[in-house]
Amino acid sequence: MAVNIPGVIAMSFFYLLVLGTGIWASFKSKREQKKSSASGIEMALLGNRSINVVVGIFTMTDKIETFWNISDDYDWTPFSSYEYSGQTGFISYVVTCIIICIGLPLTLTAIFAVYFLVQKDHVAPIFVMNLLISDVIQLCCMIVLVVPPKHGKTYHTIFIIYYSGLVASVCFMVSIGLERYLVIAHPLWYRFRRSIKISVVVCVVIWVLPAVYLLRSLFWYITYVQETISAVFFLLPLPLLIFFLSGTLRALSASISVPADDKRRIVGMLVLVLLIYTLLFLPYIIWLLSDGIKCDITFIHLSSLLLRLSPLADLALYVLMRKGTIDKLLASVCCCRMDSNDSSSSAV
């Protein structure tokens, strides 16, 4: 069985870097805890302030009151009360319901359609199908998160599942970008080395690692350690996606083995993935890195809504997978330009 060596190396480096950052942050937190002379009540209040905002980024509330019982072993017992109030909270609630009603049936339909495209030597649809599955997980969790849960433990469990789906979707976006880059930059190597079995193994690894890591949060949680790891994790795909797109554009002119329609489709998918990640995930990354906006309710709602829009944006990847889609879009744009030119010339 041929092994996708660059893909395995890139994925291994990706997770090793995240793991190393987590270990470094853990040691740093222990040193800071030893140096700190704060009392247990002060530590609890600090945890309440920070974790409250972390939970708030994924809720549709203007007011969230969370009380945490933190012991020496970092055990927690959340007891939460939720209140929808204000115009911002109402708009966030309505938009989330619209996203669920539109995104869930369309995503399920797209999954079945992509499933029939997964045939021999069709590797890209596997990653796209798993991306859509992660979107379904997020949408199902949104249904529960929209309704205020009676128990904080239930909310936190659903939040962990939602976050696992979000992390998996980011990994699959990077996998799609890497696979499309190899098609253009290394077409001969990709043609003889690609394998559906390797893609399945990569998908299994992507599903297992985020779930294992995030399940640790049920038993061990330190706020700024989690924020540091999340910031590093969500920042890593951005330079990778930029590299995949730039490398593809450089190799596009020299590639003669890929048809013109496939070239346009591949470039369109890479551009779309980069746009989705930049527009929808970048505000959340800014929120993780900036302490000045941690308590800005408007920015919290905006970042949360943009993250929830990612399942709808991912549906465009399925549209671009269809052959002739780019040509039809270009033809429609050209027709619109010709019509506008004709109307302007006739007016003169």
CB–CB of 249/181 below 8 Å? no
CA distance 277 to 320: 17
Task: Write down the mean pLDDT value for the chain.
Answer: 69
Look at residue 106 and tell me whether its pLDDT is greater than 70.
Answer: yes
Beta-strand (E) ranges in 101-225? none
Enumerate domains of the chain plus CATH numbers.
5-339 (1.20.1070.10)
pLDDT above 70 covers a percentage of the chain that reads 59
Where does the pLDDT of residue 134 fall: very low under 50, low under 70, confident under 90, or very high at 90 and above?
very high
Where does the pLDDT of residue 133 fall: very low under 50, low under 70, confident under 90, or very high at 90 and above?
very high
Query: How much is the average pLDDT of 247-252?
Result: 86
| Cα–Cα separations (whole angstroms), residue 235 to 23, 170, 286, 321 | 18, 11, 10, 27
Phi, psi of 259 (to 5 degrees): -60, 160
CA distance 348 to 345: 5
Identify the residue with better confidence: 183 or 328: 183
pLDDT of residue 37: 44
DSSP track, 200-254:
HHHHHHHHHHHHHHHHGGGT---HHHHHHHHHHHHHTHHHHHHHHHHHHHHHHTT
Query: How much is the average pLDDT of 197-201?
Result: 84
Look at residue 136 and tell me whether its pLDDT is greater than 90.
Answer: yes
Where does the pLDDT of residue 252 fall: very low under 50, low under 70, confident under 90, or very high at 90 and above?
confident
pLDDT of residue 119: 59
Partners of 65 in beta bridges: 81
Q: pLDDT for 34-84, tens place per residue?
A: 554 444 433 333 333 333 333 443 433 333 333 333 333 333 332 233 344
Which of 76-90, 172-186, 188-202, 226-240 has the weakest average pLDDT?
76-90
Look at residue 135 and tell me whether its pLDDT is greater than 90.
Answer: yes
pLDDT of residue 43: 36
Which of 8-12, 45-49, 152-156 has the weakest average pLDDT?
45-49
Q: pLDDT for 200-224, tens place per residue?
A: 888 999 998 777 766 666 555 555 6
pLDDT of residue 107: 92
CB–CB of 268/326 below 8 Å? yes
pLDDT above 90 covers a percentage of the chain that reads 13
Q: pLDDT for 253-311, tens place per residue?
A: 776 766 777 777 788 888 888 998 999 998 888 888 877 777 777 788 888 889 999 99
pLDDT of residue 16: 52
Where does the pLDDT of residue 338 fall: very low under 50, low under 70, confident under 90, or very high at 90 and above?
very low
CA distance 119 to 321: 14
Identify the residue with better confidence: 344 or 127: 127
CA distance 228 to 267: 32
Global pTM?
0.68
Length of the chain: 348
